[in-house]
Amino acid sequence: MTVKKLSPEELLGINKFVVDEEEPHIVLDKSICAGCKEKPCLVVCPAVLYTLKDGEVNFDYAGCLECGTCRIVCKNKGIIKWTYPRGTMGVSFRYG
C-alpha cells in the first residue's frame, strides 16, 4: 500500500473552520502594533494570518489554529483580546 505524503499546506487545508462572524476571538489594537518594531506575529503564526501592508499589520482571525503563539510573542500587548472561539466555533483538526 502506498501512502501519499501531504504538504503542510495540504494538511492545513483539510482542517474545518466555523468562523464566528459576530465575535472575533483575537483582537488587535493597531495603534500599538504600529509602534512595535519587531512585529514577531508576522513570522510566528503557523497559519500566516498576520501580514504587513503599507507598514500596517493586517490580521484575519478566520483560519486561526488556536495555538496561542501570537499571544505569547506579543510583548507590546498589541493583542488586546485573545480567547478561544465560542463553543462549536473555530478549528476542527483533521489529520488526513
Query: What are the residues whose beta carbons fall under 8 Å from the beta carbon of 33, sequence distance 6 or more?
Result: 39, 41, 56, 57, 76, 78
Residue 45 within binding range of ligand SF4, rule CB under 6 A: yes
**Taking CB under 6 A as the criterion, which residues in 59-88 touch ligand SF4?**
64-70
From the list 23, 29, 46, 84, which residue makes contact with ligand SF4 (rule: CB under 6 A)?
A: 46
- Among residues 57 and 64, whose Cβ is nearest to ligand SF4? 64
Residue 47 within binding range of ligand SF4, rule CB under 6 A: yes
Q: Which of 79, 39, 77 is nearest to 55 (CA)?
A: 39
